[in-house]
Amino acid sequence: MRLVIALGGNALLRRGEAMTAENQRENVRVACEQIAKVAPGIELVIAHGNGPQVGLLALQGNAYDAANPYPLDVLGAETEGMIGYMIEQELGNLLPFEVPFATLLTQVEVDSADPAFKNPTKPIGPVYTKEEAERLAAEKGWSIAPDGDKFRRVVASPRPQRIFEIRPIKWLLEKGSVVICAGGGGIPTMYDGNQLRGVEAVIDKDLCSALLAEQLNADLLVIATDVDAAYIDWGKPTQQSIAEAHPDEIEKLGFAAGSMGPKVQAACEFARNTGSTAVIGSLENIEAIVQGRSGTRISLNYNGIAYR
């Protein structure tokens, strides 16, 4: 079995939680405890989000006035190394010593004509009150958008077109390695003539993970986040969790673009393009998700929508 697990950036640094290395490592440890239960006997690829992390690095960079801040593609590369290191160490402490690990810096091509560059939607960094967000937007020229009852900085999120390192990822899997790659949706790049260069953007982790899982012929894509399923009427007395759904039916429900929307879109695209199953669920429930006992399962094999 070949399994791709996409860990959400907000699951690794929870909403409203202090953005410390200690908190991130603790959340990584929780994820790895779950992943270790399903890892034996499977080919495992782990992707992860980086929205809170890359936003924090950007804030730290802005505090240094002697040079221009590093661009988002470079910060994305930094977070791939940082988060990959923690996952390797925490999961390596749980699996047999003989299991090899590899964290791979992953460049992902985007289209310069992607309309996302004119309409920033991807939230990064911490949450702010409306007053704080408006002040920072005025000071730094940011775009901001609501995120629940708070606000966050938003940046362009172009669609992933091509994963440049897909061949070495396959080679590592064939040698039995656990591969950590496409962190934060990969490092956004585009061609300028025949020269590849970085782009000031953040690719959506879930859409990139779906493309990764498709190109790896994965049997299952798990999109792990900070809620246990996709819900209708979220936060209302009428809320219901979705147990399983056909892609055509769940897409009709219209999930928020800044939160559950990309996860549902990614799961639907993977299910349609491969005929396999994608599941959206909680980081703490990864074992139950893989066993089919938790999360929202999306597949062409389902009719309509079933609720829990």
Of 10, 27, 50, 285, which is the active-site residue?
10
> What is the mean predicted confidence (pLDDT) over 262-288?
95
Q: Where are the alpha helices (DSSP H) in 166-259?
A: 166-174, 205-215, 247-250
Q: What is the Cα–Cα distance from 161 to 123, expressed in whole angstroms?
A: 21
Q: What is the Cα–Cα distance from 242 to 228, expressed in whole angstroms?
A: 10
Of 49, 76, 205, 285, which is the active-site residue?
205
Of 122, 183, 185, 261, which is the active-site residue?
122
Q: Which of 106, 62, 134 is CA-nearest to residue 216?
A: 106
Look at the alpha carbons of 211, 9, 79, 53 in this order and tell me if their dihedral is positive or negative: positive
Same domain, 131 and 260: no
The count of domains in the chain is 2
Look at the alpha carbons of 157, 242, 6, 146 in this order and tell me if their dihedral is positive or negative: positive
Same domain, 143 and 162: no
Could you say which of 155, 176, 209 is where a domain stops? 155
Same domain, 226 and 244: yes
Same domain, 170 and 235: yes
- The CATH number covering residue 253 comes to 3.40.1160.10
The string of pLDDT tens digits covering residues 181-210 is 999 999 999 999 999 999 989 999 999 999
Q: 70 near 144, Cβ under 8 Å?
A: no
Same domain, 126 and 10: no
Same domain, 106 and 240: yes
Across 17-169, the runs of DSSP E, i.e. the strands, are 43-48, 101-103, 107-109, 122-128, 143-147, 150-155, 162-163
What is the pTM (predicted TM-score) of this model? Answer: 0.90
Of 55, 125, 263, 295, which is the active-site residue?
263
Q: 268 near 251, Cβ under 8 Å?
A: yes
Mean pLDDT score of the chain, rounded to an integer? Answer: 92
Look at residue 127 in the predicted model and tell me its pLDDT.
82
Same domain, 198 and 140: no
The string of pLDDT tens digits covering residues 229-252 is 999 998 899 999 999 999 999 999
Q: Which two tokens stand for residue 171?
A: 């080679």
Same domain, 128 and 96: no
Active site residue 122: yes
Q: What is the Cα–Cα distance from 155 to 37, expressed in whole angstroms?
A: 36
Residue type for 41, please? G
pLDDT higher than threshold 80 for residue 65: no
Active site residue 51: no
pLDDT higher than threshold 80 for residue 117: yes
Look at residue 256 in the predicted model and tell me its pLDDT.
80
pLDDT higher than threshold 80 for residue 9: no
Look at residue 153 in the predicted model and tell me its pLDDT.
87
Same domain, 233 and 276: yes
β-bridge mates for residue 298, sequence order: 245, 278
> What is the mean predicted confidence (pLDDT) over 16-38?
89
Look at residue 25 in the predicted model and tell me its pLDDT.
92
SS3 labels along 257-268: CCCHHHHHHHHH
The string of pLDDT tens digits covering residues 249-261 is 999 998 887 679 9
Q: Which two tokens stand for residue 276?
A: 């396999």
Active site residue 118: no
Q: Which two tokens stand for residue 104?
A: 């791979």
pLDDT higher than threshold 90 for residue 20: no
Active site residue 205: yes
Q: Report CA-CA distances (Å) from 34 to 20, 95, 287.
A: 22, 12, 6
Same domain, 226 and 275: yes
pLDDT higher than threshold 80 for residue 158: yes
Same domain, 12 and 151: no
Residue type for 298, please? I
Q: Which domain range does residue 137 map to? A: 121-155
β-bridge mates for residue 108, sequence order: 163, 188
Which phi and psi (to 5°) does residue 146 adopt? Answer: -60, 145
pLDDT higher than threshold 90 for residue 10: no
Same domain, 98 and 162: yes
